Amino acid sequence: MKNKFWAQLQAWLMALILPTCFASNKSAIIWGMNDWEPYFIVHGEDQRLGVGDLQIQAFIEQIKNFDHKVIFMPLTQFSTKAKSGRPLCFTGLLKSADREKYLYFSKPNSILLTQQLVVSKSLYQSLGSPKTISLTEFLNQTSRIGLLPQKRLFGQPIDQILNTSSTNKAQFILANTRQLLEIISSNRFGWTLEYPNFASYVANKHNHTDKLKMIQLTEIAPYLLTYVGCSRSPFGKQAIAAINQAIDKLLPMAHYRHIAERWYPLQQRRQIRRYYNQYLLQQNNKTD
């Protein structure tokens, strides 16, 4: 009887220990995230409800053959560590030739609206309340000075337009999005450039929504595809293969699409849904 008891106890202990041992033998994906509202939200009532936060959670739920760990890591630090081959991944990245030197990229995993001209309500009305606008023409015609975050790169052709504008209508200052929108909503300066979901999130949090308007720029496409990037290493190749399988399962799911729509105003949520179905979901189906 005593031997039977110890045999049962031993079997029970092994049942507890073995899954832990097997789990520890899995490769682990270390997911980087940073403080960049509303993509990653690390403080307040919306903590862990950012677009990137929810995408990572969706991947963790789908990818069972890897362990997962989420750590705070500014994007510059992620890039440095990824170049050394650390087992890292980051969601919501834009693909570039430089990044492809040290990262493997997944299939497109989401979509966002590109940077728009953010203006005060009074300036918007004086422009004729347009839905789209040429940044080049705007800079050549406006007398209003714009404020832009210091050291911010907007990509081409926006950076080139800002650098070659016939008059100096843009000032780069050390300020975050919240500070810039506060200044513009007060009508002290006329405009800035920002991603619509970022501008909308900050404006809502600080009660500036009714004082600001966003206008789509004609020089750039209205949307961007985003990707997951993992270290360019044997680990990264395996991780991206698993992530691509997860993307195939997640893209048709309504709750995953809602993550992309999160933090946009109603009209722009409809726009995101249209682009999501046309340029993300349908294109992914064609490549399968």
pLDDT, mean of residues 172-185? 78
- Which domain, by its residues, includes 92? 26-112+223-287
Query: Which residues, listed in sequence order, are joined to residue 193 by a DSSP beta bridge?
Result: 117
Q: Has residue 161 got a pLDDT over 70?
A: yes
One domain, residues 105 and 167:
no
Query: Which pairs count as long-range contacts for 12-16, CB under 8 Å and 24+ apart, including other chains?
Result: none
One domain, residues 169 and 207:
yes
- The string of pLDDT tens digits covering residues 206-246 is 888 888 999 999 999 999 999 999 999 999 999 999 999 99
236 by Cβ neighbours in 10 Å (0-12 / 13-18 / 19+) ranks as buried
Nearest residue to 35 (alpha-carbon basis) of 223, 198, 212: 198
One domain, residues 128 and 108:
no
Enumerate the H helices of 63-194 as residue ranges. 75-83, 121-126, 135-141, 158-164, 177-185
Count of domains observed in the chain: 2
- The string of pLDDT tens digits covering residues 187-199 is 767 899 999 998 9
Nearest residue to 276 (alpha-carbon basis) of 245, 255, 251, 249: 251
Nearest residue to 27 (alpha-carbon basis) of 242, 218, 251: 242
Work out the end-to-end distance of the chain between its first and last CA atoms, rounded to an integer number of angstroms: 59
Q: What is the CATH number of the domain that holds 261?
A: 3.40.190.10
Highest mean pLDDT range out of 3-12, 112-121, 201-210? 112-121
Tokens representing 119 are 């203006």
Q: Count Cβ atoms below 10 Å from residue 221 Cβ, excluding itself.
A: 12
Instruction: Name the amino acid, one letter, at 269.
Output: R
Residue at 6 is within a domain: no
51-62 helix and 254-261 helix, angle to the nearest 10 degrees: 160
One domain, residues 48 and 88:
yes
Does the predicted model carry a pTM greater than 0.75? yes
Q: What is the CATH number of the domain that holds 193?
A: 3.40.190.120
One domain, residues 47 and 136:
no
One domain, residues 123 and 165:
yes
Domain boundary among 200, 217, 234: 217
One domain, residues 67 and 189:
no
